[in-house]
Amino acid sequence: MTEHRKAYICPQIFDGTAFNTDSALIVDGDRVAAIVPTGDLDDTMPRRRLPGGIIAPGFVDLQVNGGGGVMLNDDQSVDALRRIAQAHATLGATSILPTLITDSPDKTVAAIDAVEAAVAADIPGIIGLHLEGPHLSIARKGAHEARFIRPMTDRDVAILIDGARRLPVLKMTVAIESVTPEQIRQLTEAGLVISLGHTEASAAQAKEAIAAGATCVTHLFNAMSQLGNREPGLVGTALSQPHLSAGLIADGIHAHPDSIGIALRSKTGPGRIFLVSDAMAVAGSDLREFRLGTRRVLRTDGRLTLEDGTLAGADLDQLTAIRNLVRWGFADHATALAMATAVPAAVIGESDRLGCLEPGTAADFIHFDPEGSDPASVWLKGAPLTGA
Active site residues: 278
Nearest to 113 by CA among 149, 70, 72, 62: 72
Widest distance between CA atoms in the chain: 66
Three-state secondary structure string covering the chain? CCCCEEEEEEEEEECCCCEEEEEEEEEECCEEEEEEEHHHCCCCCCEEECCCCEEEECEEEEEECEECCEECCCCCCHHHHHHHHHHHHCCCEEEEEEEEECCCHHHHHHHHHHHHHHHHCCCCCECCEEEECCCCCHHHCCCCCHHHCCCCCHHHHHHHHHHHHHCCCEEEEECHHHCCHHHHHHHHHCCCEEEECCECCCHHHHHHHHHHCCCEECCCCCCECCCCCCCCHHHHHHHHCCCCEEEECCCCCCCCHHHHHHHHHHCCCCCCEEECCCECCCCCCCCCEEEECCEEEEEECCEEEECCCCEEEECCCHHHHHHHHHHCCCCCHHHHHHHCCHHHHHHCCCCCCCCCCCCCCECCEEEECCCCCCCCEEEECCEEEECC
Torsion of CA 186, 189, 195, 200, to 10 degrees: 30
**Which residues are paired to 59 by β-bridges?**
93
Q: State the Cα–Cα distance between residues 371 and 323, nearest whole angstrom.
A: 8
